[in-house]
Amino acid sequence: MNRRRSLSIDKVLYNAVFAVIVLLTVLYVVLFTDFFFSDYREDLRSFSDNWKISEGQWVNLDKIDVSDFGGRIELSKPLPSSTTDADSLCFESSNVNLKVSLGDKEIYSFNSKENLTGMGYGHTFHEVGLSAVSAGKELTLVYESCGKTINKGSITGVYLGPAANYMHMNVIHRAVQFILTLSIIFFGVLIIIIYIMIPDKDEMPFDIGKLGEGSFLIGLWLLSGAGMLQLLLGNVYVWRILSCVTLILSGFPFISFFNSMTRTRRQIFEVLAFSITLLLEFSIILIRYIPRIDMMRSLGIYEGLMAVLFFITVLVILLDNYYHCKSHFIPVEYKSIYVGLFIVIISATAEFLLSYTHIGTGYLFGTVMRIGMLLFMNIVMYEFSKWWVKSQAIADRDRFVNNTLKFAAYSKNPDESVKLMLEYIGRETDAKRAYIYEDIGKGKMQNTYEWFAEGSDPMSKELSVLYSNKDIFKAEDVPKGTTEGHMLVYEPEEIRAISPGLYDRMKKYSIKTVAIGPLRTDKAMLGFWTVEDVQGEKLEELGAAMDVISYFFVQSINQRKEQERMLYYSYHDPLSGAQNRSALRQFTTERLDLTQPFGYLLCEIRGLREINNILGQDDGDRAVKETAQCLIEIFGDRNVFRLSGNEFAAFGFESDETFFDNDVEMARRKLESISCDAVVASVFCTNGTSNLNNVTGYVYNLLKKREN
């Protein structure tokens, strides 16, 4: 408790200090090294402004589109006199065919190729090598829309300088987008791997495999717009195709994921999501090849339609789940994931508004959406981690309990079962000692079972009997319930006020940890079981299983007590409490040593039949009980036997005949003192006997003579 809380605080403190050290290291690397190397700006000059079109108009390439000039535009601009062999003309284009000429010589061209999306290709980067001899020459740039159905296209971000510096600038500008996008893809792949590795997928709280698939597809879609890999690898069409098909494909896995979170998990929603996704995906491809509408023109409509259908379907799923839970009076689960979904919707809406108002265009376009997606994925994985930790704890508990019961099942004897369970628990938890105390009445608990590890000492005799309210815990400190209320003590100071006796014991015997489980039925407290000095985190694992194990301890002890009761009645006379003829036969064949001195006594109650007939059965029963009690008090309950309705036998094991005769005389006086008319006959075998029948026959004949 206190120690566990202290350890938890220390762990949090260590982690916090370590996190600060890592953060400071990262900040140092980012702020005080060449992480944001900016010397490229000295050699990299913006070249987008002051281009002259054929009509004599001066324009900025970043602010115009070919659609403004009928789908084709020709511009020119002289290279500066400072142009060197290390310089290149670097720029980014979108959905245009282009060529670059220096004077009358064409030095670079790019023509789009027809692909799955049409003639459009999205964004691509260009590098046109220059030299010092090019200084001052007229540079001509001609570009036009890349297809008949496409009238939009542009060239932006034109720079003059070393190509490596241009690449470095773009990497820096796109780093945030790229890192966030890779994080989404990484989490998506990781979630899929986790899903594959989980053996029993039906036990999962929701289908994280679908979440991984959807996140991976969204990540690919965002990656196609980040531009980083296109810049580094030079690919063009792969990113255009991914940007057109992956977003639509992500609808089905995400709808399936949200459906798996519900209580009903209706199959109709799975079918609906699958149908909508395939319909959108195939229809956008069909209109690309039949009416030959370029995806650049249709994609925005389809993405908007997909978003609307997605959110409507998810909303219907969530509302259906809400009303189902409400009608069945059960709580709605995973509300935090709904918060995550709300964050995604807000971030997507914010991204749309930023794009529509041109506030969010540029290098940071899509950042808000990426952050929202990452937050959503982290919220889902947090919920999944909570389930995983809980399920693992349950699995560990079940394994521990099952193994404990397996060991107990090796014996059909409940007494042996308790011993085997204690031994397994002690060995499995690396404990030093495990034991059970049982209630023997009057606030006392007696040690009945004990296991101790090799090298440890058995429990001292002074601890064989404890006073429960003093030495262990007060009854009111243990919660009521069948077997609930186990106690885990991580250090003695935790229970100093609750149980001073247990605290003193732990300090005296240097006990570090204790686990105590009460053995309780619905009606009474049977006792408790304890495991001492459990090693490491196994104390927590033991605590998770204690309530269940306590139940089986209670069952085994009750079975043992039932067997003891059955055995008692098998060998005892129910009226007098003395042992019966069966017990006498077992005693004379198994316990009686005929080679040692012993005394034998017969006692017969006179007139028992008359007492029953005249005074009543109750008086006759009382005479039997009182006679038996007199003999038991003198000779012991293990040595007195009822042979018939009015006849008892007793054995005495004094070393001298005088002592035995004194016991016989004391029995006579006791019987007289309770007004019991009884005849007593006895004999003492100083050297034992070789024939017990001769002894019992002699005493029987002696008894009959005295009756007369």
Kindly write down the DSSP assignment for every residue of 429-481, as one continuous string.
TT-SEEEEEEEEETTEEEEEEEEE-TTPPPPPGGGSEEEIIIII--GGGSPPS
Q: Which of 107, 102, 160, 89 is nearest to 136 (CA)?
A: 102
At residue 14, the pLDDT reads 79
The set of residues, in sequence order, having a beta carbon less than 8 Å from that of 568 and lying 6+ positions away, is none
Amino acid letter for position 340? G
Cβ–Cβ < 8 Å for 214, 257: yes
pLDDT in tens, 442-470: 778 888 899 988 888 888 777 778 775 55
Is the pLDDT assigned to residue 1 strictly greater than 60?
no
Q: Give the residue with greater pLDDT, 660 vs 392.
A: 660
Q: How far apart are CA 244 and CA 303, in angstroms?
A: 9
pLDDT in tens, 485-520: 688 888 888 888 877 878 888 888 888 899 988 888
pLDDT in tens, 135-156: 999 999 999 998 777 778 999 9
Query: Can you tell me whether residue 332 is helix, strand or coil?
Result: coil
Q: Which of 139, 131, 171 is nearest to 155 (CA)?
A: 139
Q: Give the number of residues written for the chain.
A: 708
At residue 361, the pLDDT reads 54
User: Which pTM was predicted?
Assistant: 0.66
Q: Give the residue with greater pLDDT, 264 vs 13.
A: 264
pLDDT in tens, 644-656: 888 999 999 988 8
Q: Which of 449, 448, 438 is nearest to 472 (CA)?
A: 438
Helices and strands of the chain, counted as H and E runs: 19, 20
Is the pLDDT assigned to residue 65 strictly greater than 80?
yes
Q: How far apart are CA 602 and CA 642, in angstroms?
A: 10
pLDDT in tens, 226-235: 788 888 888 8
At residue 35, the pLDDT reads 64
At residue 483, the pLDDT reads 39
At residue 6, the pLDDT reads 54
At residue 359, the pLDDT reads 60
**For 533, what's the count of Cα atoms within 13 Å in the CB-facing half-sphere?**
15
**What is the residue-wise DSSP string for 201-267?**
GGGSSS-HHHHHHHHHHHHHHHHHHH-HHHHHH---HHHHHHHHHHHHHTHHHHHHHHHHTSSS--H
Give alpha helix (H) positions in 144-207: 163-197
Q: How far apart are CA 91 and CA 100, in angstroms?
A: 12
Q: Give the residue with greater pLDDT, 108 vs 570.
A: 108
Q: Give the residue with greater pLDDT, 297 vs 707.
A: 297
**Domain range 43-161, CATH class:** mainly beta
Domains 43-161 and 581-707 share a fold: no
Query: ∠70-72-77 over CA atoms, to 5°?
Result: 125
With a pLDDT cut of 70, the percent of the chain lying above it is 92
Q: Place 57 in a pLDDT band, splitting at 50, 70 and 90.
A: confident
Is the pLDDT assigned to residue 72 strictly greater than 80?
yes
With a pLDDT cut of 90, the percent of the chain lying above it is 38
The set of residues, in sequence order, having a beta carbon less than 8 Å from that of 374 and lying 6+ positions away, is 180, 183, 184, 187
At residue 562, the pLDDT reads 85
Q: Which of 350, 384, 343 is nearest to 367 (CA)?
A: 350
Q: Place 285 in a pLDDT band, splitting at 50, 70 and 90.
A: very high
Q: What backbone phi and psi angles, to 5 degrees, belong to 6? A: -65, -45
Query: Can you tell me whether residue 278 is helix, strand or coil?
Result: helix
At residue 38, the pLDDT reads 60
pLDDT in tens, 652-680: 998 889 999 999 999 999 988 888 888 99
Look up residue 462 and give its two tokens. 């002074």
pLDDT in tens, 303-345: 889 989 999 999 999 999 999 998 988 888 888 999 999 999 8
Highest mean pLDDT among 103-117, 148-162, 402-416: 103-117
Q: How far apart are CA 294 and CA 281, in angstroms?
A: 14
Q: Which of 283, 222, 281 is nearest to 252 (CA)?
A: 281
62-84 mean pLDDT: 91
Residue 632 parent element (H or E) = helix 617-635
Question: Could you identify the residue written with the tokens 């400071």?
Answer: 24
At residue 358, the pLDDT reads 62
**What is the residue-wise DSSP string for 662-696?**
HHHHHHHHHHHHTT--EEEEEEEETT--S-HHHHH
432-439 mean pLDDT: 90
CATH topology of domain 581-707: Alpha-Beta Plaits (3.30.70)
Is the pLDDT assigned to residue 397 strictly greater than 80?
no
At residue 481, the pLDDT reads 34
At residue 541, the pLDDT reads 81
Cβ–Cβ < 8 Å for 447, 433: no
pLDDT in tens, 161-208: 999 888 888 888 888 888 899 999 999 999 999 999 988 888 888 999
Report domain extents, the chain: 2-36, 43-161, 171-330, 410-570, 581-707
At residue 477, the pLDDT reads 45
Is the pLDDT assigned to residue 36 strictly greater than 70?
no
The DSSP call for residue 613 is: I
**For 639, what's the count of Cα atoms within 13 Å in the CB-facing half-sphere?**
18
Region for 136 from its dihedrals, namely left if φ exceeds 0, alpha if ψ lies in -120 to 50, beta otherwise: left
Tell whether domain 410-570 is in CATH 3.10.105.10: no
376-399 mean pLDDT: 84
Mean of all residue pLDDT scores within the chain: 86
Distances (CA, A) of 663 to 90, 391, 636: 122, 68, 11
Q: Place 607 in a pLDDT band, splitting at 50, 70 and 90.
A: confident
Cβ–Cβ < 8 Å for 506, 496: no
Tally Cβ neighbours within 10 Å of residue 336: 12
Q: Which of 685, 686, 690 is nearest to 699 (CA)?
A: 685
